[in-house]
Chain A
């Protein structure tokens, strides 16, 4: 622990810390462009210059200088002030003065730091450099003349995403940031370079010229596009959410966000269900709320009612529907829309027990039936970090391109029972072995085999739990905690032939199985379920209601309402409350707060933010059999849910980046 002095403040800094980190510990702000906590140190912007004694009598780049015993660091001496002004003047020499037409304006590091640390005016009269426009695909807009060559984007794609596709070409004044042959950035985390870019060189293409940051209302929310539960911020103006940005949460998403979560935002205003619809003589007709509710109410389902929850719904909605079904005497609840029927009796066997941050410490990982890059894009950088620390990764299921070294053990789910000796030896000798079981394996009886694997290699030990199930649906863990699971999966519901089925945004269900039932769809998008529905009751998307979500780790997180639902759409809980009136039963709540209180009373874990505790893993079932070629649930990384399918941006990503269509750019 070196002791350093920062402007007279003496403090201990952790071994290996840099001078910049020491200054931050002392509460001194150090301006920087290239330095980023989660990327390697480049030291090429020179903005973080400080005066350090002992040392050469010149300013030093604090980001690349290790803090050492007895250093005396000055951040506000005359030398530092002059050095910062000089660096800023150099940076601005070739930076265009186009802030009024730049999308970064108002949230630009260069703007802020030139105000805080720069000279008042420019002394530069010569011509500025201009750089030709670069293509980086449908998500990233480039204005490379604004680039200050911090190389954060290059380091991100190489180090975090693990896809080397952005590079710094040429040199000196001619240096340019570009993708290889100007191909589109294709990986699933590509748009994070927009956040990383300290200037307006890389900005969001769909969001171009939409709004200024100071106009936006910021609401804290949770991403619903997968079960990782990334922490996000919804930026809205008026009644429209304009963009989605990640929030920092080291336990979940660090500060990254998957492209499909960031850009589903324009799907929130398209294909919306904004008024009730009623099927009359086989055709859906617009109706009023009174007509629609009366239409449902006159069906007297008795206890012959089932609820199928979709992937995007919050715990409150599911609890309200459960209360409604319960009041009618039914417990036909299911959330696994595509027919998965694994045993849900012990939730510890359902969760990502290592935690997302903890999996970085694993030293042997078996990925069992999960296309991690499609199903949980934010888990992949974590696995990559584990591999960088020396972990060995094995993969069962059809091969996909991981961004790290991995060994393929076969496509068949049964391969877990016939591990080669060398692989078994790796897991037997590992200090922190782990398994990640995905939906592909769960569908082939992989849960029992996974539990047997956990027992064989002692995955749960002192201070370590290596048994992980990676879900894909944001609603899954909350659904399982609320009992949205039948023993035989959705087949049990089909077999029960309910008179009435309530769909909570259940767009992935094969609705032809319910031809004999009245289908009431409470959802927000005119997607697959709406086509099959007999009554459509327009609900709220995740951005339009408060809600509780539980991610695949079992982490309870709360999202807040950013805007109101469009048209006559209502928050889901109030629709279910109105249905209770239509059926003439009581569900025990009249407000959202009462609903939440009732839910927490029923499932106390949902009332505590953070990891829920599910207890010990069950013993592996006798005679569990895993077999069959694994298939992955996600066919198209961008169009995975109703909101994404409605988003023009993600449709274009899918067409261009997955199906290889070429979109002609309008001549500018």
Chain B
């Protein structure tokens, strides 16, 4: 696992984020989230609220969003829980960014199925675009992380960029996607394979063929 450390607590960080508070919309959302849990169990809302806070930071900074220490403390105060318990959650899940992040967080899956289907090429293509593992590009656009399985093995290799998945990638298609994002356009999400909609078999089905049109009991044939 990549070394993760919270951004050090500094006077500048305090000055920038010490006054953090929900925006109007998010205040309502936070209230709604806390209301999902029984009274007195408001601590259960810590994960959605951390996500909400990360998104609000992202919106303010025009990045994917991250969790500065003062914001973590804000969430702890909001939920009336010890801040160390919130920090435990924030450091446990890699989806919470605890250090500053770029506009687009490119998370390349490098687990076995993706690797067999060419994730090394994807990483090389990212590298060619100037992305470096664990770093943000100087223009602040892209941060690159290699992650473990994201559950898209049927359409490997894949990357997740902020909230969207891009699947069935090749070196060319990832380069195209990064270019489009850098240009401010939204590339097609999901599978990049022409003619494929989602994770259905490419071309004709090769297994369970008898199941295509009707239910078929294979058990007798085993």
Q: Is B172 an interface residue (CB 8 A)?
A: no
Contact of A164 among B1, B4, B9, B84 (CB under 8 A): B84
Question: Judging by beta carbons under 8 Å apart, are B85 and A170 in contact?
Answer: no
Q: Across the interface, do A180 and B83 meet the contact criterion of CB distance under 8 Å?
A: yes
Task: With both chains docked as a complex, state the minimum distance between the C-beta of B116 and any C-beta of chain A, in angstroms.
Answer: 24
Q: In chain A between 149 and 175, which residues have their CB closer than 8 angstroms to a CB of chain B?
A: 164-174
Q: Which residue of B lies closest to A170 (CB)?
A: B91
Complex CA–CA separation, A167 to B88 (angstroms): 7
Contacts of B69 in A (CB 8 A): 181
Q: Any chain B CB within 8 A of the CB of A179?
A: yes
Give B74 Cβ to nearest chain A Cβ, in Å: 14
In B65-114, the 8 Å CB interface with A consists of: 69, 82-85, 87-88, 91-92
Set B1, B9, B87, B88: member contacting A172, Cβ < 8 A: B1
A residues 327-370 with Cβ under 8 Å of B? none
Q: How far is the CA of A171 from the CA of B88 in the complex (A)?
A: 9
Asked if B82 and A164 sit within 8 Å, CB to CB, the answer is: yes
Look across to chain A and name the residue whose beta carbon is closest to the beta carbon of B81. Answer: A164
Point out the residue from A167, A171, A172 that lies within 8 Å of B85, measured CB to CB: A167
Other than A165-B84, A180-B87, give 15 A-B pairs with Cβ distance below 8 A: A164-B82, A164-B85, A166-B84, A167-B84, A167-B88, A168-B88, A169-B91, A169-B92, A171-B91, A171-B92, A172-B1, A174-B3, A174-B4, A179-B84, A180-B83
Whether A169 and B88, one on each chain, are in contact in the complex, defined by CB atoms closer than 8 angstroms, is yes
- The answer on a CB contact under 8 Å between A180 and B1 is no
Q: How large is the interface on B (under 10, 10 to 19, 20 to 34, 35 or more residues)?
A: 10 to 19
Min CB distance B110 to A, Å, is 17
Q: Across the interface, which residues of A come within 8 angstroms of B91, CB to CB?
A: 169-171
Nearest opposing residue in chain B for A168, CB measure:
B88
Q: Which of A179-228 contact B (CB under 8 A)?
A: 179-181
Contact B87 A167 (CB under 8 A): yes
- In the assembled complex, the Cα of A180 lies from the Cα of B82 at a distance in Å of 10
Chain B residues, Cβ within 8 Å of A166? 84
Secondary structure at the A interface, as helix, strand, loop or mixed, is mixed
Contact with A along B181-199 (1 / 0, CB 8 A): 0000000000000000000
**Within 8 Å CB of A164, what residues of B?**
82, 84-85
Cross-chain contact A180 with B4 (CB below 8 angstroms):
no
Interface residues of B (CB under 8 A from A): 1, 3-4, 9, 69, 82-85, 87-88, 91-92
Give CA–CA (A172, B4) in the complex, Å: 13
The CA of A180 and the CA of B91, in the complex, are separated in Å by 12
Closest to B69 in A: A181
Q: What is A's interface to B at a CB cutoff of 8 Å?
A: 164-174, 179-181
Would A173 and B84 count as touching, CB distance under 8 A?
A: no
- CB-nearest residue of chain A relative to B2? A174
Chain B residue nearest in CB terms to A182: B9
The reply to whether B1 and A169 contact each other, CB–CB distance below 8 Å, is no
Residues of B within 8 A of A173 (CB): 1
List, sorted by A's number, 23 A–B pairs whose CB atoms are closer than 8 Å. Answer: A164-B82, A164-B84, A164-B85, A165-B82, A166-B84, A167-B84, A167-B85, A167-B87, A167-B88, A168-B88, A169-B87, A169-B88, A169-B91, A169-B92, A170-B91, A171-B91, A171-B92, A173-B1, A179-B84, A180-B83, A180-B84, A180-B87, A181-B69
User: Across the interface, do B92 and A170 meet the contact criterion of CB distance under 8 Å?
Assistant: yes
Q: In chain A, what residue has the closest Cβ to B72?
A: A180
In angstroms, Cα B84 to Cα A165, docked, is 6
| Complex Cα–Cα for A172 and B9 (A) | 25
- For residue B85, which residues in chain A have a CB less than 8 angstroms away from its CB? 164, 167
Q: Which residue of chain A is the closest to B92 with respect to CB atoms? A: A171
- Per the bound structure, the CA–CA distance linking A132 and B69 in Å amounts to 20
Task: Tell me how far the C-beta of B100 lies from the nearest C-beta in chain A, rounded to whole angstroms.
Answer: 18
Closest residue of chain A to B83, judged by CB? A180
A284 CA / B49 CA spacing, docked (Å):
68
A179 to B83, CA, bound (A): 10
| CB-based nearest A residue for B82 | A164
* Cα distance, A166 to B88, chains bound together (Å): 10
Question: Which of A164, A169, A171, A179 has the most chain B CB atoms inside 10 A of its CB?
Answer: A169
Question: What's the minimum C-beta distance from B23 to chain A, rounded to whole angstroms?
Answer: 27
Q: How far is the CB of A175 from chain B (nearest CB, A)?
A: 9
Q: Tell me which residues across on chain A come within 8 A of B92, comparing CB atoms.
A: 169-171
| Max chain B Cβ within 10 angstroms of own Cβ: one of A166, A171, A172, A173 | A171
Question: Smallest distance from the beta carbon of B24 to chain A beta carbons, Å?
Answer: 30
Residue in B3, B9, B88 whose Cβ sees the most chain A Cβ within 10 Å? B88
Point out the residues of chain B lying under 8 angstroms from A172, CB to CB: 1
B84: chain A residues at CB < 8 Å are: 164-167, 179-180
Q: A168 to B84: give the CA distance in the assembly, Å.
A: 9
Q: Which of B9, B82, B84, B91 has the most chain A CB within a 10 Å cutoff? A: B84
* Min CB–CB distance B194 → chain A (angstroms): 39
Q: Residues of B contacting A174 with CB < 8 Å?
A: 1, 3-4
A181 to B13, CA, bound (A): 14
Residues in A with CB closer than 8 Å to B88 are 167-169
Chain B's closest residue to A181 (CB) is B9
A-B pairs, 5 with minimum CB distance: A164-B82, A167-B84, A180-B84, A169-B91, A167-B88
Which residues of chain B are near A180, meaning CB under 8 Å? 83-84, 87
Give Cα distance in the complex from A384 to B170, angstroms. 61
Complex alpha-carbon distance, A346 and B176, angstroms: 90
Q: Is the CB of A170 within 8 A of B4?
A: yes
Least CB distance from A128 to B in Å reads: 16
User: How far in angstroms is the closest Cβ of chain B from A377?
Assistant: 20
Residues of B within 8 A of A170 (CB): 4, 91-92
Which chain B residues border A167 with CB–CB below 8 Å? 84-85, 87-88
Among residues of B, the one whose C-beta sits closest to the C-beta of A165 is B84
Contacts of B1 in A (CB 8 A): 172-174
Q: Considering the chains assembled together, what is the distance between the CA atoms of A167 and B87 in angstroms?
A: 8
Rounded to whole angstroms, the CA-CA distance of A177 and B82 in the bound complex is: 16
Which one of A170, A179, A180, A181 has the highest number of Cβ atoms from chain B below 10 Å of its Cβ?
A: A180
CA distance A172 to B69 in the complex (A): 22
User: Chain B residue with minimal CB distance to A166?
Assistant: B84
CB distance from A541 to the nearest CB of B (A): 38
A427 to B120, CA, bound (A): 71
**Complexed CA–CA distance, A180 and B84 (Å):** 5
Contacts of B9 in A (CB 8 A): 181
- Bound together, the chains give a CA A172 to CA B85 distance in angstroms of 17
Q: How far is the CA of A31 from the CA of B199 in the complex (A)?
A: 50
User: How far, in whole Å, are A165 and B4 apart by their CA atoms in the complex?
Assistant: 20
Q: Which residue of A has the minimal Cβ distance to B94? A: A171
Smallest CB–CB gap between B19 and chain A, Å? 19
Closest to A174 in B: B1
Which chain B residues lie closer than 8 Å to A171 at the CB level? 91-92
Query: How far is the CB of A176 from the nearest CB of chain B, in Å?
Result: 9
The CB with the most chain A CB atoms within 10 A, among B1, B69, B91, is that of: B91
A187 to chain B minimum Cβ distance, whole angstroms, is 12
A181 to B3, CA, bound (A): 17
Q: Complex: how many Å from CA A167 to CA B76?
A: 14
B87 contacts across to A, CB distance below 8 A:
167, 169, 180
Q: How far is the CB of B27 from chain A (nearest CB, A)?
A: 26
Minimum CB–CB distance for B71 against chain A, Å:
14
With A and B bound together, what is the CA distance between A179 and B84 in angstroms?
A: 7
What residues of A have a CB within 8 angstroms of the CB of B83 in the complex? 180
**Of residues A166, A168, A181, which shows the largest number of chain B Cβ atoms within 10 Å of its Cβ?**
A181
Min CB–CB distance B198 → chain A (angstroms): 32
By beta carbon, the residue of chain B nearest A180 is B84
Q: Return chain B residues, CB-CB under 8 Å to A181.
A: 9, 69
Minimum CB–CB distance from B32 to chain A (whole Å) comes to: 27
Give the distance in Å from the alpha carbon of A57 to the alpha carbon of B43 in the complex. Answer: 38
Bound: A171/B69 CA distance, A: 19
Give, as a whole number of angstroms, the nearest-CB distance from B70 to chain A.
11
